[in-house]
Amino acid sequence: MSKKKRPVVARAPQPIRPNGNRTLEIETSKGVYLRLPIKTPMLTESDDLFQALETYVHPHAKPGDFIFISEKLVCVTQGRIIPYRSVKVGRLARLFASKVNNKIHTKDFRGFGHGTAVAMQLLIEEAGYPRAIFAAGVAALTLPLGIHGAFYYLVGKQAKSIDCPMSFSLYPYLHYAKLAPMKPRKLAREIRARTGHDTVVIDANYRGVCTLGIAGKGITEKFAQELFRDNPLGQSEEMTPFCIVRKAIA
């Protein structure tokens, strides 16, 4: 039985400011665009994503804008989160996790990621054991040749989007792992149909950028990577899970 969603409380639109040292403007191969991060209260599995869009994004959106949505928010509102202590970790996950170079104990360390056995177990289950084992074999053969990323390319975007218990740094999700969002392409199409805006469900973090669902002809994978290469939504306390992208006026 699905949980009853709580009503979203409307608030006055907040002024839009960039997160951290990012900028609102960014140069892309298609010209200069504005990335307008939309701040919200803490949204949980009790919130309805479509109500949140109406309450927090709609007051700022203009015709021709693109809507980008953090896949973390999609996962949370879909209830696709799981206490990490409930995950049964197998030996294969422990082996694969031990091979992940997350640069721990160096200045480049940004998080454990799939270097945790919990996250790797969930990744394997999402991709399927045969596919994960095949991907690991190809990666083992190609890495000595200087080819990086074969494992994640072969397991696919959905499995790659799974993250470890430390993927959230806000209470109450400190001890939760994030599963893959359900049907992100279908969700993007539904949002576009309701709002009239081209929509992207995006996974952006310090490791890179990839789209999980795109609805509309104005956005490509390459364009999304250019727009979000510095992750303007942030990763934790910023609480800006939505981003309006707008062509800058020359």
Average of pLDDT values for 103-127? 77
Read off the pLDDT of each residue in 145-160 and give the average, rounded to a whole number.
Answer: 90
Confirm whether 173 is domain-assigned.
yes
Tokens standing for residue 43: 């949204």
Residue 155 belongs to what H/E stretch? helix 150-155
Give the total number of structural domains in the chain: 2
pLDDT at residue 114, as a whole number: 81
* Domain assignment of residue 6, yes or no: no
Dist CA 125 CA 121 (whole Å): 6
Q: Which helix (H) or strand (E) holds 67?
A: strand 66-70
- Average pLDDT in the chain: 85
Angle (CA) 204-144-166 rounded to 5° is 30
Q: Are residues 117 and 204 in the same domain?
A: no
Same domain, 217 and 94: no
- pLDDT for 67 beyond 60: yes
What's the confidence (pLDDT) of residue 110?
57
CA distance 118 to 84: 7
In which domain, by residue range, is 203 found? 25-80+181-247
Residues 86 and 124 in one domain: yes
pLDDT grade for 126, boundaries at 50, 70 and 90: very high
In angstroms, the CA 136 to CA 119 distance is 15
Distance CA 35, CA 181 (A): 23
Q: What's the residue count for the chain?
A: 250
Q: Which pLDDT score is estimated for 160?
A: 87
97 and 172 both lie in a single domain: yes
Cβ atoms 164, 111 nearer than 8 A: yes
d(CA 11, CA 142): 52
Give me the pLDDT at residue 209, please.
86
Contacts of 147 (CB under 8 A, 6+ apart): none
Instruction: Mark whether 76 and 106 lie in a shared domain.
Output: no
Considering 102-106, 121-125, 173-177, the range whose residues carry the highest mean pLDDT is: 121-125
Based on the domain organization, do 115 and 153 belong to the same domain?
yes
Residue 168 has pLDDT above 80, yes or no: no
pLDDT at 105 over 80: no
Q: Could you give the C-alpha distances from 189 to 39, 156, 196, 199, 242, in angstroms and in order?
A: 23, 20, 10, 7, 16
